[in-house]
Chains A and B, each alone.
Chain A
């Protein structure tokens, strides 16, 4: 009841700030940009000219799987960045502006406050990612070749778990910092560190959430969902829950002092 109130208010707030329009559009752009440019690259080069007489342009056309992975790779970088930027002020901005004083003077549970905000943002990000990937998939099948739609949906679902972890990390920093910029900075550093550590120790950390997109690429080529994908997804879920519980605890501690 109270949870729904906060959830609805968040959804409305995203709507009034046009996030329901521009976030999906941005994710669609990320998803189609690379497949499209690599498809049209020979034509672009030809029309731009400057190619010496007699030189043959021989750029191998990527396979459908490769093209689809281009979409995922864009999301891995730019998508994460956008997700962090749109959620960096979820709590910290309410605390620093002072709105939280009015909200918390009502008998609001800290857990409802955090999880409702988290869920509303997660719904926005999930829809944007799925819409983006499906659009990317459409262009890939038209331009490069077939990929099963169910494969896209399944991999999108795993991929969302990675974003869920990122959003939880942003919530964690939100719960004790009052500067949205600092929240974004530290969240991105955390994600970079997670990825770097995973790359260095990838033979040990096979369950790291940072490898989810690697396992998705394996899934595209082999058509099989590896057990490592299940494990790394499970790790993402567990870490998200830990981050959320910690942020409830930290916000409560900060506000009660």
Chain B
């Protein structure tokens, strides 16, 4: 049973359709990346799911709880640029939003301490938020989204504005959160999506172009790429490689041979047999996995 189902979700502003009839299901315990170029409608979609803007058409509902009309009870939301009350301390802010979500003062306090530990801000809990760095604010933002134990955590571009260290910290945090919550986060950085998410949703110009697990989407691709490199470059290697029938193209990229194949299993077996029998000194054999970028660019430009 899915956690949340979204049907024909649409948002129009005057004549512009920002989100155009998208439908998908979120499975419990999964981490889902919402991908798309800038202006694809990611933020609008997430805001509708978080329950503080209303859709023009379509329905969002939580399957576990059909009686609450306010989704905000079940969703923790981190906006793209979280802004806090700078005069508060981190602890005070967490307790404030926790109590807004109907926790008692004591519950809010213990939850705040637990989350400050999780996002490693315990040492700075008495510090005014105005003095926090960008990465600290982002981590506090994640903590505030978790205060009321939401079933679904929505993060809007949680890493795009961070430096590499901050980005690493937040990605590790997301990986930790995956253990006990469903996460939906938007990004335009494909590596991040590949690194932490199970499923992806690909959005462009308000339309959902692709959805599914990362493996499925890779498998849907009709061609695969294998990278090869050798110690001493064998003669006529390009011609020899093309003799294999599943190989349909060989090109060079610096020292690597880029072998395009139809069937990756078949190609692997045949290539290794050939290399073995010829006695070529193989230094690299890599089945390319980073083609999410290709898929993305291909889907968006179509």
Contacts and interface: CB of A to CB of B under 8 A. Distances in A.
Interface in A7-29: 9, 13, 16-17
Interface stretch (B47-55, B255-263, B276-284, B292-300): B47-55
Interface in B1-58: 13, 50-54
A252 to B, nearest CB: 10
B96 interface: yes
B131 interface: no
A102 B148 contact: no
A90 interface: no
B91 to A, nearest CB: 13
B102 A105 contact: no
Contact of A105 (B72, B81, B83, B99): B72
B10 to A, nearest CB: 14
Contacts of B162: none
A6 B77 CA distance: 19
A140 B270 CA distance: 105
**Most interface-central of A13, A17, A97, A105 (chain B CB within 10 A):** A105
A103 B53 contact: no
Given A106-B72, A107-B72, A107-B101, A101 B96 contact: no
Given A106-B72, A255-B53, A98 B100 contact: no
A99 B87 CA distance: 12
Contacts of A6: 100
Interface string A67-100: 0000000000000000000000000000001110
A2 B52 contact: no
Given A9-B96, A105-B77, A99 B84 contact: yes
Given A99-B83, A107-B73, A5 B96 contact: yes
B97 A106 contact: yes
Given A16-B87, A17-B87, A106-B148, A257 B81 contact: no
Contacts of A5: 96, 99-100
A178 to B, nearest CB: 13
B79 interface: yes
Contacts of B79: 98, 101-102, 105
B83 A108 contact: no
B72 A102 contact: no
A148 interface: no
A2 B83 contact: no
A1 interface: yes
B54 A256 contact: yes
B75 A105 contact: yes
B97 A102 contact: yes
B53 A13 contact: no
B138 interface: no
B289 interface: no
Contacts of A99: 83-85
B82 interface: yes
Contacts of A107: 70, 72-73, 100-102
Interface residues of A, number: 22
Contact of A102 (B13, B53, B83): B83
Contacts of B51: 105
A20 to B, nearest CB: 14
A157 interface: no
B87 A105 contact: no
B99 A101 contact: no
A153 interface: no
A104 interface: yes
A108 B82 contact: no
Given A5-B99, A98-B79, A105 B85 contact: no
B187 interface: no
A194 to B, nearest CB: 33
B144 interface: yes
A4 B94 CA distance: 16
B50 A105 contact: yes
Contact of B52 (A16, A17, A97, A255): A255
B148 A101 contact: no
B199 to A, nearest CB: 23
A104 B144 CA distance: 12
Q: Which 10 A-B pairs have the closest CB atoms?
A: A98-B83, A105-B77, A5-B99, A107-B72, A106-B100, A101-B79, A16-B87, A106-B101, A256-B54, A99-B83
14 contacts: A9-B85, A98-B81, A99-B83, A99-B85, A101-B77, A103-B97, A105-B50, A105-B72, A105-B79, A105-B145, A106-B100, A107-B72, A107-B101, A107-B102
Interface of B: 13, 50-54, 70, 72-73, 75-77, 79, 81-85, 87, 96-97, 99-102, 141, 144-145, 147-148
Given A5-B100, A102-B83, A102-B97, 18 more contacts: A2-B99, A2-B100, A5-B99, A6-B100, A13-B87, A98-B79, A101-B83, A102-B141, A104-B72, A105-B50, A105-B72, A105-B75, A105-B77, A106-B72, A107-B70, A107-B72, A107-B101, A255-B52
Interface of A: 1-2, 5-6, 9, 13, 16-17, 97-99, 101-108, 255-257
